[in-house]
Structure formats: C-alpha cells, structure tokens
Amino acid sequence: MGVTCAGLALSAVLLWAGSAAVWYRGGPDVSGAPPVELTGAQAAPWLGGTALLALAGVAGVVATGGVLRRLVGVLLGLVGLGVAGFGLRAQFGGPPGELRGPAEVTVAPLLAVAGGLVLLAVGIVVVLRERGLARLGARYAAPGERRVQRDPDRTAWDELDEGRDPTADPPAVPPGDPGDDPGDGPRSAAV
C-alpha cells in the first residue's frame, strides 16, 4: 500500500512539474514580436487537474476495496496512458501552430510522459494486486475472518457478572485433581 501511495504522489509531482514547465519556445517572427513561451498548463490546461486526480487516487485506493478499488485502478491506468500518449505526441510531434517564427520543443513534455507512465503502472498494480493491498477498516471485518481480542475491562465486568472475582488468581491445581478447596468438603461446625 505504501509503494502504491508513493507512486501516486510521485505521479502527481511529475504531472504538476510538467504543467509548470515551459514546453515550447517560439522565436521572434518577421514582424518583430517578442518570443513566446508556452507552459504545460497553457498547452494542456487539464494537466494540473490530472495531478490532483493522482493525489485523489491515494484516497480512492486507501478507502476502497474489492471491485471498487479495481475500478479506481483501471481509471488511474487509463488516465495515465492518455497523459503519456499526449506527452509523447507533444514531445515528438512538433510545436503547435499558434507559435510564430521558428519554434522549439523543450524536454518538459517528458515530465508529463513520466507522470503518466507512473500513473499507468500504479493503476496496473492496483488492478492486479488488489487482494494483497491493506484495507481500511479491516479491524471491523466479519467474525470468523480474524480473531478479535476482547477488551480487558469488558472481560473483568463479564467475570463479575458471572460471580467470579477477576482479581483473584486461579488456584494452581493440576488438571483432573479436585484440589484442597475448603468449599469442596463438609462444613465444619462453627465454634
């Protein structure tokens, strides 16, 4: 569970860094306009929201179980695949048409690719290893799934209710030996 949550946090950091970094630089054109820079947030406005989705995935993976947790894993994997594909297209497909003059692509889209691949990997792990991940509220599982420790205070009250002194040590009597309990024999006459 810790590795899964750490992977989601790493993915969120990479996606956020990718949205804040400059993806494209456009040089001045013939008209003398100043150079233009496009950040990841300008090229893909949804990238910051995807970073928040990765963080929300931590809560989704921790708070759910079974089929619902697997669905969270599928969602995270699909989003990661889409982000990685978009980042690869941005990295190797060239700058967008709105940049004037000569333009260059920085390596910043690769941050989005890395974040998407980590998100995809976490989604796959959640889907395949869901049974091995810890569950929230496993302490309250149905009886028979695990032995529940009794509260010592409640045990003491139960002993009192049954007429036994919970503070008295049990007699050290070997099994099967009736012992020398004074209450076992005939009562002696009061003097």
What pLDDT does residue 83 have? 95
How far is residue 156 from each of residues 14, 149, 164, measured CA to CA in Å? 55, 14, 9
Q: Is residue 51 part of a domain?
A: yes
Q: pTM here?
A: 0.66
Q: Are 45 and 56 in contact (CB under 8 A)?
A: no
Which residue has 């969602």 as its token pair? 75
pLDDT averaged over the chain? Answer: 80
What is the residue range of 100's domain?
Answer: 2-22+36-131
Q: Is residue 15 part of a domain?
A: yes
Q: Is residue 78 part of a domain?
A: yes
Structure tokens at 155: 């045990």
Q: Is residue 86 part of a domain?
A: yes
Tally of structural domains, the chain: 1
Q: Are 4 and 61 in contact (CB under 8 A)?
A: yes
pLDDT per residue as tens digits for the range 27-72: 665 566 677 788 889 888 999 999 999 999 998 888 888 889 899 9
Q: Is residue 148 part of a domain?
A: no
pLDDT at 174 over 60: no
User: Rounded to 5 degrees, what are φ and ψ at 82?
Assistant: -65, -40
pLDDT at 150 over 60: yes
Q: Is residue 136 part of a domain?
A: no
Q: Is residue 97 part of a domain?
A: yes
Using pLDDT thresholds of 50, 70 and 90, give the confidence band for residue 85.
Answer: very high
